[in-house]
Structure 1
């Protein structure tokens, strides 16, 4: 047990560590109050900016008095260490969200209202926080409190004063900060909107695993609300007003505290019905369409106009059918008719406003497919940073056998997205390892990641085709077969190259049920220079 002035603590009470020190559970000897004692090593404060940030944090916390702000109880120290006795809380909002997946709207509004009460205290003293995120919102006995004021600064709350410092957490940064432009006090309002969206849906409004992909997503993708989890118009309006890209259009601090989400008495039934009650099969069609549109950066207006033959901003049943089949040729007539009937109304036509709303307001992705959402985030990072998935795969395939074991896969993903959690990588691995053999082949890797990255294969790799390729690779490796002799055997023409028919016969020898289309998809993996034949070097490189 150690005693520092009026506080006692020991190593058993360790709560966590940060960049500048550690936090312990401690007891005030005089009052008996249990506190969080933050012990900061001043040697780690290597420049004036860090020292000023610490002084600022202390000053802000001593100023604020709201029950929805974490209280500073005491501060003392010497040249070697600074001690901060802070109100001890039970958990943080991130932990609550992780445990629940998402928070029901009525409770989410209550959480938001409490935090806004804390922000109101901050704003009333002309401060903005600049690092609003779930980790900096603590909870004690079901009371939510704003915490961590290291980046807080004095500012003109009306928005007339512009700042330049790039501080905070990228996921919650406003577009102005991401673009390294000047920003105002409204930057915190953007962060609040991003956080409230995440509280409601258990996912972020845009793919945001790094700054480049987040900024690209904000610029190219509309703000959408998950169809599977309807929320009230008040919540939608609050989020939309917080997440206006241009600061001039974003709601201000003078208006935000009186938004109807806080001032109107919420009814018992928070969730309003969607305009369209769609069966699951229709949702799947729209999900597929949305994926195609997003992956290829297609403007919904462009799709609509392409099939609006008479250019009257209306699609009849025939035009609508042609549009759907162009997006997904496997859609059945019954599914198309069901979808058309659901969205056309009594007039038996689909106008552009209806079509656009369906595409731009709703997110039809499967909220329960956590691995799928992570993969989409990684696809966005690859595209935004112009990464080459073939080069990435080859770099981490240490034994050059054409597949990645779990550790190789783990190391690769960590490089693409350094902040990704271990459990997220485990979820993803099962999605990549399509044949469940404990390794990810290049075709499996390419099949999952090529979508939406501009590196799509001609036909894609089906599960059967991927399995056949793996079987060929394993057969050669296990039996120590001579690759050159296999090549010569199937090079029937003897011209030093294998064409599609010869390659098809090779794969049929491994799996008699493989189709020509599936064989063609594997052929394109081998045919690196796209000359419609496989040279021995191309053949050898895959095996």
Structure 2
């Protein structure tokens, strides 16, 4: 094909070749409508016609890729039939493939490799959710666009037909990345992608393969017998990563980690909620529910002992596997999965309760301050308005938490949120938060009346401030008045503190002043440090050396103003 081609006044194809394969050439193109580069895969109809297997794989690739919609999968925009060629308009990845990246940069540091892996997993979730086994996961089929990885090339992928086994039988995929059961010619399912994932992760970390050989037979023998080298090329990885790789690369799929266990392993589970994206740390950008992998079809122990033709012919490697009956295996697997699921749900419910209580503790800390204003009722210092604003802030935080619980909003991205909603701890939490609201209201309304009376006593003329005092809702000016009133109150207390001689009185005033200043910064505390230990901090304030009172007060005042 010569010259530039234009399709539907939308896609312009030029001569720049991006890659070449046995039956296809990929060239660069332009999406005229969106003004962005695309990749155009040009496939010869004649070569497909000469090879029925390739023809079937190509038709399958188009069919499967049209189903998949994910930021972690190469998108297929359009397919054209032009003379003797098919033209596939696809997403362009300027970073090339992962194989070239490894050739250029060498082994990938562990944390960055985990980031890459998280994105591959995100793409696989989309693929598996359509009951598709990829079967050819390798660096050459993973592409880089900006800071994002995308899975491509679905020529070897196939649908796992929804029958009693959900398995395939064909032998495909690159030799280094093939699971043993594919090489043996056994029936297989989604567990083959787990093995390939292990090889891919090892390749990223060491820029080498865990099992090497000059032939499929030699690679297979090493899979069976060779201990994996976890110090290759001078690379050092964590013990957790070693354990993860060992479980991914188990020769016997019955011993291999399942897809659900992949997400429960510390290497993955501790990064599921990490949303940082940078050149060094690239993670899937949000926590994704992985309930998909609770489906029994994603377990590894459900295969027939029927022998199918092996691609090892007379090598003698393909031995018959004596396995338990499908019914018995599925029953055992179901029991195990149910036990694991129960444990996971219990742990997550405990986690949820802890997080909600930590949120509650934030306005609970302010509750102590709200009740203490009457103890420091000093005529020359107005305490009514700051007391009102503290209670309004508490009411706002309580109402937010109350709304999240009552409307059943999944603020912590829990996997088993519905189970949490049906649990006894949820009911207790809901009651606690609702009871808090009642207690806050008991103090809020009389405090508002006292603050309204202070308007006249203090000759307040600022209409915005008057409006803030007279309404229980937070106005746009609330933060300004909230900070100003608390700082004025704290400054007044500090003037008295500096004149006191009684140690006990000094300690009481100092403690009140610190509570007030820290209430000014409560929003920052909510954002930055939800697991703040209030009780420990309270003891630190109480036991502060009196000689440090003023320096600490100045520091807290600066933090409040910022």
TM-score using structure 1 length? 0.47
Q: Based on CA coordinates, which of the two structures has the bigger radius of gyration? A: 2
TM-score using structure 2 length? 0.45
- Report the structure, 1 or 2, having the larger helix content: 2
